Amino acid sequence: MITGANSSLHLFEPQEGVERRFEVPVNFPPAEMNVLLLYDFNPHWTSSEKEEVAEAHSRLTDALASAGYCIDLLPVVDQHFPQRLGSYDSKECVLFNWCDGIPGLHQSEWMVVRQLEQMGFVFTGSGSATLSLSYDKYRVKEALDRGGVTTPRWRLYKTSQENGWHDFPAIVKPAFGHCSEWLTSESVAMNEKELHDRISYLIDKVGLPALVEDFIDGREFHVSLWGNGRVEMLPPAEMDFSAFSDVHDRLCTYDAKFIPDSVHYQNIRTVLPSTLNEAELDELERVSMAAYKAIGCRDYGRIDLRLRDGVFYVLDINPNPDISEDASMASCAEHAGYSHGDMAGYLIKLAAKRHPVFGRKTAQHPVEPRAVN
């Protein structure tokens, strides 16, 4: 998990709008299985950060234990975590992956999962190939294009001397990364000079290729999905940028997610549920599910989109979104009638279906959909 981070949502404001009946799985009783909770724990975090993590894990384990699960915790503190995992039998437990990577090793969440795969563990969430792919925005764009998913027009820049982009406003992102890294107000370019300056900054100073996109200056939605085969959409959240008149500020920057004192963090509001009509919700669901499947998400994920002139454009796909109690997915699930423990329990059930032993038990408890307004 990411400590001290807004991650997605820090203010929920339910508003009146069109009611929608979301078919989401409920009444899915927990199986009698052992669950190993894997999470990252950085020894160099501050005392308050460590306390925050410990409290979050305590709340989740208490909720799961009250539902009948037997929970064991295993922190990932360094690259030697496979040695500690070796004391567990993969046939006797399901692993709940709440790990964002190996502390001190940048963009390593896929490496953790690859190790789990090699050791034969069944775990919640997407596999290493999907997690690795999600960091490479160029490859994600290609996957979306192949899948016929609408995404903003784009171009990859490997040198700062290239030109050829003439449509503005545009947005300049690093071609590799996650969590809005290097995304600031300066990422939005209104002319060729601003575009060239930002491309040069990413390539020459940061050392990353630049991905230039058409900036969709429209309504933004964060859509949480869960399931395999039958994928279901939780009530979508909408990001409200109305506090900002300058187009440069109408985006979820790194500061908006992780810096509580920043103007973006404090002034970008989140509306849950969004005020879309029935036809718009249907289209949002269709596009989100197509994106989810295009990169091979498993169990759960989050899709970020924008709406302009009746068209939903996929901005980003996160196959390992934060599922902390105050984060986007948990809040959307709560709006659909699920406690944090209920949500986590359902993710465990999805993973358990792949387990050679527990899969037979979960098959005895079919998913019963329920309509939620």
With cut-offs at 50, 70 and 90, classify the pLDDT of residue 179.
confident
**Res 164: pLDDT:** 83
The mean-pLDDT minimum among 250-254, 303-307, 312-316 falls in 250-254
Contact 113, 123 (CB under 8 A): yes
Contact 36, 72 (CB under 8 A): yes
With cut-offs at 50, 70 and 90, classify the pLDDT of residue 368.
very low
Q: What percent of the chain has pLDDT over 90?
A: 72
Instruction: State pLDDT tens for residues 287-313.
Output: 999 999 999 999 999 999 999 999 999
Q: What percent of the chain has pLDDT over 70?
A: 88
- Asked whether residue 370 carries a pLDDT value surpassing 50, the answer given is no
- Asked whether residue 15 carries a pLDDT value surpassing 60, the answer given is no
Does residue 64 lie within any of the structural domains? yes
**Res 26: pLDDT:** 33
Please enumerate in sequence order all residues whose Cβ is within 8 A of that of 369, keeping only pairs 6 or more positions apart, or say none: 23, 24, 25, 26
**Six-digit token string for 314:** 């996929």
- Residues β-bridged to residue 221: 238, 305
Instruction: State pLDDT tens for residues 17-74.
Output: 444 444 433 334 565 688 999 999 999 999 999 998 889 888 888 888 888 888 999 9
Domain hosting residue 310, numbered range:
22-138+216-236+273-372
Average pLDDT (197-225) is 96
**Res 103: pLDDT:** 93
Nearest 5°: the CA angle 162, 166, 167 is 130
- Residues β-bridged to residue 301: 225
Give the residue carrying structure tokens 């963090």: 265
Its pTM stands at 0.88
Number of domains in the chain: 1
Does residue 259 lie within any of the structural domains? no
**Res 177: pLDDT:** 87
Does residue 349 lie within any of the structural domains? yes
Does residue 253 lie within any of the structural domains? no
- Higher pLDDT among residues 366 and 154, named by residue: 154
Read off the CATH number of the domain in which 75 is found: 3.30.470.20
**Secondary structure of 186-226 in the HEC alphabet?**
HHEECCHHHHHHHHHHHHHHHCCCEEEEECCCCEEEEEEEE
Does residue 201 lie within any of the structural domains? no
Report the distance separating Cα 287 and Cα 311, nearest Å. Answer: 10
Q: Is the peptide bond before 103 cis (omega within 30 degrees of 0)?
A: no
Report the distance separating Cα 82 and Cα 115, nearest Å. Answer: 7
Does residue 181 lie within any of the structural domains? no
Does residue 71 lie within any of the structural domains? yes
Instruction: State pLDDT tens for residues 115-169.
Output: 999 999 999 999 999 999 999 999 999 999 999 999 999 999 999 888 789 999 9
Average pLDDT along the chain: 87
Average pLDDT (247-259) is 88
Average pLDDT (215-242) is 96
- Asked whether residue 14 carries a pLDDT value surpassing 50, the answer given is no
With cut-offs at 50, 70 and 90, classify the pLDDT of residue 363.
low
Contact 9, 333 (CB under 8 A): no
**Res 22: pLDDT:** 42
Report the distance separating Cα 335 and Cα 167, nearest Å. Answer: 39
